[in-house]
Chain A
Amino acid sequence: MNLALPFALLKNSYPQKISDLRNTFAGKQLILLLVFVLLSPLSWAKEAAPVADDPVLERRMIALSEDLRCLVCQNESLAGSRADFANDLRREIREQMQANKSDREIIDFLVARYGDFVLYRPPVKPATYLLWGGPFAFLLTGAGILFFYLKRRRKQIEEPPLTEEQHRHAEALLKEDKGNNA
């Protein structure tokens, strides 16, 4: 909205009181302007229009591309990245979905071009056994070490039975203690 006109007019006949506003030409324009400005938010009040033509397909596209890596900004998913590259691939995915391709087919399409690196969930195959199995191997190793360590430790701190002499000594000490208290 162009504010220049009413304000330029206002400059010439600046109103002294609010009531003056109604009487001047510029004042009337200003009131009209205020009415428009205050009313306009009401006209905008509606639900946000979906960006895509087909919100269902868009949701499916986003869900799929969340599991795919953007190769340009490698710590972002295709869904989250604003790189031009991600835009292009989202368009590609969208178009393939419109052509009734399954998620599996689309993923195969992308892997054929960009390799397993596009997948945030790499497939289980000989090259990735270590990746998938590694954490469990570490866990088992750790648990094993802990088990043997605790077993050894228990043996170390197990109290050896008192010898005859130690028994007598202890008894003597206890008697002495009683005598003091009495």
Chain B
Amino acid sequence: MTRFLLPLAAFIVLVGFLAVGLNLKPREVPSPLIGKPAPVFQSQLLHEPERMLASQDNLGKVWLLNVWASWCVSCREEHPLLVELARSGIVPIYGLNYKDKRDLALQWLNQYGDPYTVSVVDPEGRIGIDYGVYGVPETYVIDKNGVIRHKQIGPVTVESLEKKILPLIKELQG
């Protein structure tokens, strides 16, 4: 009897492993920055290049940092949601315009709407490297103490917003 049961058991275990493996998302590499202070940056504003924003200016409030670019196709997917979120006034969204051209970025915002309190520019992707950005769009939830609490890799979806991001924001603001 064990002659058949043993291979069968081994087979079931293997199928179990494969089933779990199939449902993993290898594109979503967990960020080591979660629970760590958000990397400090200071950069020009997209709309007013003569003004600067420093990340420390946002200490004391919960904010989202959304990495976007006009060349990024999936950014278009999440954009209506961000516009809606910004309109609701729940949380300020700051944009990091990643490896983009200023005129194209401005044109893109004109076309699709501008959900950002302000956008800062990162033309060479250096702030991006500090934040561990590798797949635009990415969205970071940063708390009042400037600590990264969550990183959304890829477009924000209704599901991720309702299940993860909004409850987390509420908790952090409370």
- A residues with a Cβ closer than 8 A to B are 71-72, 74, 84-85, 88-89, 92, 111-117
Contact = CB atoms under 8 A, between A and B. Distances in A.
Contacts of A116: 32
Contacts of A74: 26-27
A114 B28 CA distance: 11
Interface string B124-139: 1110111110110000
B33 interface: yes
A88 B131 CA distance: 13
B129 A115 contact: no
A111 B26 contact: no
Nearest to A71: B134
A25 to B, nearest CB: 50
Given A71-B134, A74-B26, A112 B32 contact: yes
Nearest to B32: A115
Interface of B: 26-27, 29-33, 99, 124-126, 128-132, 134-135
B30, B124, B130, B134, most chain A CB atoms within 10 A: B134
Nearest to A88: B125
A114 B32 CA distance: 6
B129 A88 contact: yes
A71 B134 CA distance: 6
Contacts of A112: 32-33
Which secondary structure dominates chain B's binding surface? loop
Contact of B29 (A84, A89, A92, A117): A117
A89 B129 contact: yes
A106 to B, nearest CB: 12
B135 A72 contact: yes
Contacts of B132: 113-115
9 contacts: A74-B26, A88-B129, A89-B129, A112-B32, A113-B129, A114-B29, A114-B31, A114-B132, A115-B32
A72 B30 contact: no
Given A92-B129, A113-B129, A85 B29 contact: no
Contacts of A115: 29-32, 132
A84 B33 CA distance: 22
A28 to B, nearest CB: 50
Given A88-B128, A111-B32, A113-B33, 11 more contacts: A71-B135, A72-B135, A88-B124, A89-B129, A112-B33, A113-B129, A113-B130, A113-B132, A114-B29, A114-B32, A115-B31
A71 B29 CA distance: 8
Given A114-B134, A115-B31, A84 B99 contact: yes
A72 B138 CA distance: 13
B124 to A, nearest CB: 8
A74 B26 CA distance: 9
Contacts of B134: 71-72, 85, 114
A115 B131 CA distance: 11
A71 B32 CA distance: 14
Contacts of B131: 113
Contacts of B135: 71-72
Contacts of B130: 113
Contacts of A111: 32
A111 B26 CA distance: 17
